[in-house]
Structure 1
């Protein structure tokens, strides 16, 4: 009887161990996908050709390729989230040059016309302000900067919002070539 109990307990232990190992394994799903050569471009940098994965109409980028694009990433394993950070250099613009009839104006954006690439600002005046036309044409290669505390980053024209308080460098033709958003 003791031999039977010993064999039974060994068999029961083996079944328990193997079933717990099977339960502990992470289930992976096998998929059928295609590898595709894709060019990835970040801002003004030249495109970088990488091999991406095409699956059900979506393109997936390998993490190695992200690091080659001068982006860093970190993995939040708890939430299964990849966090990307663009490491490109910050782009600034030169201050207004009064010798070339450039003006620095400060005000609040009241209207944005994305089709015409214009903004309307309500100018804020101080003792040294020069009055400007409220409708301002935005240059195609404008540099837009947002400042918050000690941090700065570049934005696009499409990121502007009505109500933003901005400082604008205007050329003699009333075209904005640089803008600082203070939030």
Structure 2
């Protein structure tokens, strides 16, 4: 009988404390849905999720807004942070600083050594590349599709990509442009 009473008391304490614990995370709020429309650069964008007004502020889904502004959105569960990143533009090739621009197709990639082998498309002023190219750690890889841009990581490169490369004066790849 005593064990049963202790069990009931512990169970009641657990149930009551869980309500107090949950109160810190959840809160009932009143929001107003008022057929809110969103326009990006003057063009109205159709949304699947509804926006709402709370405390005289309009709340819109962050992924919807960010992606319509050509930003990349990622949720970091560990840090509880929404990461919004635009693309980092690529500084033009500067031949006066010893840089070269090379066109071609990636035929092999060594992700550990950070090298790529290319099948080069030669133009009248092209520098001929015969050896694997070392890719700098701070390389800027820019993917363009239609009118949108996105930065890629080196590990995202794939054999067969048609590209333009910017080689610095040490013949290291400092920029890659891929258009699909």
Asked if 1:89 is matched to 2:86, the reply is: yes
Q: Deviations over 1:52-77 (max 9, x none)?
A: xxxxxxxxxxxxxxxxxxx9236xxx
Give the match for residue 63 of structure 2.
73
Q: Deviations over 1:27-53 (max 9, x none)?
A: xxxxx9xx9xxxxxxxxxxxxxxx9xx
Aligned mates of 1:121, 1:85 — CA distance in 2? 29
Q: Deviations over 1:137-173 (max 9, x none)?
A: 0110111011111111100001000000110000121
Aligned mates of 1:146, 1:134 — CA distance in 2? 24
Aligned mates of 1:166, 1:158 — CA distance in 2? 16
> Counterpart of 2:62 in 1: which secondary structure?
strand
Larger Cα-atom Rg: 1
Give the match for residue 115 of structure 1.
112
Q: Is the 8 A contact 2:72 2:86 kept in 1?
A: no
| Alignment match of 2:176 (pick from 143, 165, 179) | 179
Give the match for residue 63 of structure 1.
none
Give the match for residue 123 of structure 2.
126
Give the match for residue 103 of structure 1.
100
Aligned mates of 2:72, 2:159 — CA distance in 1? 27
Question: RMSD over aligned Cα, in angstroms?
Answer: 2.4
Q: Is the 8 A contact 2:72 2:85 kept in 1?
A: no
Give the match for residue 144 of structure 1.
141
TM-score, with length taken from structure 1: 0.53
User: CA offset at residue 133 of structure 1?
Assistant: 3.4
TM-score, with length taken from structure 2: 0.54
Unaligned runs of 5+ in 2: 1-17, 26-60, 65-70, 74-83
More strand by share: 1
User: CA offset at residue 85 of structure 1?
Assistant: 5.0
| Structure 1 consecutive aligned stretches of length 4 or more whose deviation exceeds 4 Å | none
May I ask how many residue pairs the two structures share in their alignment?
Answer: 107
Aligned mates of 1:158, 1:85 — CA distance in 2? 17
